[in-house]
């Protein structure tokens, strides 16, 4: 059972659920429907887990080549035959789409389905092994939970949800490039054209720093729309300053240690900013109590 749980990549699922939750709350404000929200979380968990399991199946050959992934259940043969992982992933995804379509609304199911199609079809099968733009384009899959969250709350795509989707899209490249920078020999061994594996250190450092800076500046600029307010702005500025500092530090000294520090903070940055978005949307409720 633990091997199948590993296929689900629950840490990634948790972050994607936070994206969906932030978009739901940002759309609904204090008027949260606990049933719809709960079903969204269940459908999101199943969809993310199913996509990850299918990804494990497709990438089982290169996972065995890379040290970082060589101990996963399929390369080690702990799940055999490997097609069991594929069936597991497809079943979880089908359950997710059924729950979303029948008990939430068709738009939510469509956004969840779009995320699966981009992650598995566009990224894993299409771009990951063939083009340097893989994570830039494929990263849109991480934006789809925001669209699903808004759809579950209002059967429409709200401005806050669209901005959250944009934030995740902008955030994804630098986050994964930093990981790839630290593990670039792994990516080269597997023949994957991730930017740090095919470009020199200076070029990779500039790309990661610039991408991170775009995220920090864009997140602050979101305040000047009607989507977010003071609570969000304070968090965006504070977190953005730290992200910019780490980006400059990495640009000046592009070491493996600085890449790893930036990668770890990047995940914390996104999680805290999403929490701030939810707090910002709930402030009117707190003021009335």
Domains of the chain, with CATH numbers?
2-288 (1.10.600)
Per-residue pLDDT tens digits for 205-228: 999 999 999 999 999 999 999 889
The whole-model pTM stands at 0.95
Q: What angle do CA 108, 91, 94 make, to 5 degrees?
A: 25
Per-residue pLDDT tens digits for 120-156: 999 999 999 999 999 999 999 999 999 999 999 999 9
SS3 assignment, position 18: helix
Per-residue pLDDT tens digits for 40-57: 999 999 999 999 999 999
For residue 81, cis peptide bond before it (omega within 30 degrees of 0): yes
User: DSSP letters along 213-248, please?
Assistant: HHHHHHHHHGGGSSS--HHHHHHHHHHHHHHHHHHH
Cβ–Cβ under 8 Å, residues 211 and 269: no
Q: Helix H segments across the chain?
A: 2-7, 10-28, 34-58, 60-63, 83-99, 106-116, 134-138, 144-154, 159-182, 184-190, 195-198, 201-221, 230-252, 256-288
Return the biggest CA–CA distance within the chain.
58
């Amino acid at each position: 059972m633990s091997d199948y749980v590993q296929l689900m990549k629950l840490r990634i699922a948790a972050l994607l659920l936070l994206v969906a939750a932030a978009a739901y709350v940002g759309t609904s404000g204090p008027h949260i429907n606990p049933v719809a929200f709960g079903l969204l979380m269940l459908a999101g968990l199943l969809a993310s887990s199913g996509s990850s399991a299918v990804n494990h199946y497709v990438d089982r050959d290169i996972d065995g080549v890379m040290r970082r992934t060589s101990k996963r259940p399929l390369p080690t043969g702990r799940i055999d035959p490997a097609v069991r992982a594929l069936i597991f992933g497809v079943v979880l995804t089908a359950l997710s789409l059924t729950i979303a379509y029948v008990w939430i609304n068709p738009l939510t199911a469509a956004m969840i389905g779009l995320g699966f199609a981009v992650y598995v079809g566009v990224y894993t099968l299409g771009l990951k092994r063939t083009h340097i733009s893989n994570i830039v384009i494929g990263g849109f899959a991480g934006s789809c939970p925001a669209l699903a969250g808004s759809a579950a709350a209002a059967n429409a795509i709200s401005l806050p949800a669209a901005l959250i989707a944009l934030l995740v899209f902008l955030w994804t490249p630098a986050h994964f490039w930093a990981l790839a920078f630290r593990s670039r020999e792994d990516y080269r061994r597997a023949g994957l054209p991730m930017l740090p594996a095919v470009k020199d250190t200076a070029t990779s450092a500039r790309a990661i720093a610039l991408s991170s800076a775009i995220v920090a500046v864009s997140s602050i600029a979101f305040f000047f729309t009607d989507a977010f307010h003071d609570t969000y702005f304070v968090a965006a500025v504070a977190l953005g300053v730290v992200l910019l500092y780490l980006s400059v530090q990495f640009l000046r000294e592009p070491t493996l240690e600085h890449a790893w520090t930036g990668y770890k903070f990047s995940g914390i940055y996104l999680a805290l900013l999403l929490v701030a978005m939810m707090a910002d949307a709930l402030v009117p409720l707190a003021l009335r109590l």
